[in-house]
Amino acid sequence: MSELARAIEALLFISPEPLDQATLVEITIESPAEIGRAIDEIRARHGADTGLELAEVAGGWALRTRPDLAPVCDRLRARPREDRLSPAALETLAVVAYLEPVTRREIGRLRGVDVDSTVTSLLERGLIEEADRDQPNGPMRYQTTTHFLQRFGLARRGDLPTLERFELTGPEAKAILSRLQQAELIAEAETGDT
């Protein structure tokens, strides 16, 4: 391994946060290209047969344990029980991740329900944060956090499949309309006078 790769490996080992390129450039006084090569060296060194892996997460690089070692790692350090995210929380999170920065009202309009409590709980869990206001005195807009990227293993903000990939096809959209018609018919039958 090159001297630079050794240095960066040491930095990644002691850092509690992922280190981004700018930080590494600043500390090592090397060019981004050199750092990129060193990162590749470190990645190659930590193969599947080792205990650590180099991961690109939350806008930087981090040395972390390999997923299959989770059970033994948890025997050393009890893992804080991750609170389960409800479907409503996940859907709200998806809306924020794709449309950020986005206001509560915009989220609510899309979801068709009041989202105040869901947004508050996501804020408390540190998965979203206040971003800015569109205009002075305007409503607060929200965005996802670094913690969100870490927890979902995303390399950077916007590291998501395109939303188009999830769109309904024509027949699927038509099916929704016809199911609504059927649902109305059922509702009519249930409440209809005899």
Partner 1 sequence: MSALTASAALTQRVEIDLFQGPFDLLLTLLLRDEVDLLELPLADLVEESVTPGQDERWDLDAASQLVLLLAAMADLKGRRMLGEDVEDEPDVDAIAMREALSARLVAYAPFQRAAAWLADRLRAAEGPRYRRVPPGTATPVPVTDDPARLRAAMHKMVEAPPVPSLDHMGVARRPLPELLGRLRESIARLREVSFDAMVRDCDRLEEALTLLAALELVRRGEADLRQDVPFGDILITATR
Which residues contribute to the site for partner 1 (CB under 8 A)?
13-16, 53, 55, 62-70, 73-74, 77, 79, 82, 85, 87, 90-91, 93-95, 97-98, 110-112, 150-154, 160-161, 163-164, 166-168, 172-173, 175-186, 188-190, 192, 194
Distance (Å, whole) CA 135 – CA 118: 24
Distance (Å, whole) CA 175 – CA 25: 54
User: Which residue, 44 or 113, has its beta carbon nearer to partner 1?
Assistant: 113
How far apart, in Å, are the Cα atoms of 55 and each of 60, 70, 154?
A: 8, 16, 10
82, 102 contact by CB (below 8 A)? no
Q: How far is the CB of 37 from partner 1 (least distance, A)?
A: 24
Q: How far is the CB of 137 from partner 1 (least distance, A)?
A: 29
Distance (Å, whole) CA 108 – CA 116: 8
User: Which residue, 37 or 150, has its beta carbon nearer to partner 1?
Assistant: 150
User: Which residue, 140 or 185, has its beta carbon nearer to partner 1?
Assistant: 185
Q: How far is the CB of 134 from partner 1 (least distance, A)?
A: 21
Q: Give the residue carrying structure tokens 């009202």.
A: 105
User: Which residue, 32 or 153, has its beta carbon nearer to partner 1?
Assistant: 153
Q: How far is the CB of 144 from partner 1 (least distance, A)?
A: 10
Q: Which residues of 20-44 are buried (b: 16+ CB within 10 A; e: fewer)?
A: eeeebeeebebeeebbeebbebbee
Distance (Å, whole) CA 51 – CA 128: 31
Q: How far is the CB of 121 from partner 1 (least distance, A)?
A: 15
User: Which residue, 35 or 95, has its beta carbon nearer to partner 1?
Assistant: 95
